[in-house]
Amino acid sequence: MLEDVKEKSVIFKGFEPVFNNESRMLILGSFPSVKSRAAGFYYGNKQNRFWKMLETIFDEQIAEDKAGKIQFLLKHKIALYDAVGESDLQGSMDSNLLKSNSKLADMTLLLPPNTNVQKILCNGKAAFELASRNLKTNLPIICMPSTSPANVSYNYKKWNDELKALKNGI
């Protein structure tokens, strides 16, 4: 007699947050894409606009390796994390993420009094929805256009304006 074998979901864990006590702005994504998980760090899909956008706005080249990217973020007082800490998401689409078996990340360590974060920029609508519903903070939470290559309505100007404010002391 054969027993029914339930297929067990694979749970993927997100990345550790990047921040220190000098961080002034938190950029919050949703959850690492398949390519980011394979690369082992945030925005690992070479087609994602995130790192190229930061290079342009800050007029500075960012090293390709994880350590160089972390150094860049901390130098510019940017904290980076994802709203979801673990999920059984099989693909990379945020629309599927919101329907997946997911556990929210604990974002409290990245907020005052642990940091000097003054504003939260959400990279896309899913991150914004999750942060707006679940973060207990008085900080502004702003929905930014996703830097994903799947987003045809990406808006560089909005990112530029917000990150220039960070450069100028928010």
Q: What is the pLDDT of residue 170?
A: 59
Whether residue 37 lies inside any domain: the answer is: yes
Is the residue at 63 inside a domain?
A: yes
Assign residue 85 the CATH number of its domain. Answer: 3.40.470.10
Residue 164 to residues 84, 156, 168, Cα–Cα distance (Å): 27, 12, 6
- In a domain, residue 2? The reply is no
Residue 108: give the domain boundaries.
12-167
In a domain, 78, yes or no: yes
Backbone angles phi, psi at 86, to 5 degrees: -155, 150
Asked, for residue 43, whether it belongs to a domain, the answer is: yes
> In angstroms, rounded to a whole number, what is the distance separating the alpha carbons of residues 150 and 73?
24
The count of domains in the chain is 1
Q: Does any domain span residue 4?
A: no
Task: Give me the pLDDT at residue 163, please.
Answer: 93
Residue 1: inside a domain, yes or no?
A: no
Does some domain include residue 95?
Answer: yes
Closest CA to 94 of 105, 108, 83: 83
pTM of the model: 0.88
- The DSSP-derived string for the chain is -PPP-PPPPPPEE-PPPB--TT--EEEEESS--HHHHHHTSTT--TT-SHHHHHHHHHT----SSHHHHHHHHHHTTEEEEESEEEE---SS-HHHHTTS-EEE---GGGSTTSS---EEEEESHHHHHHHHHH---SS-EEEE---STT-TT--HHHHHHHHHHHHTT-
Could you say which residues of the chain have pLDDT below 70? Answer: 1-9, 89-101, 170
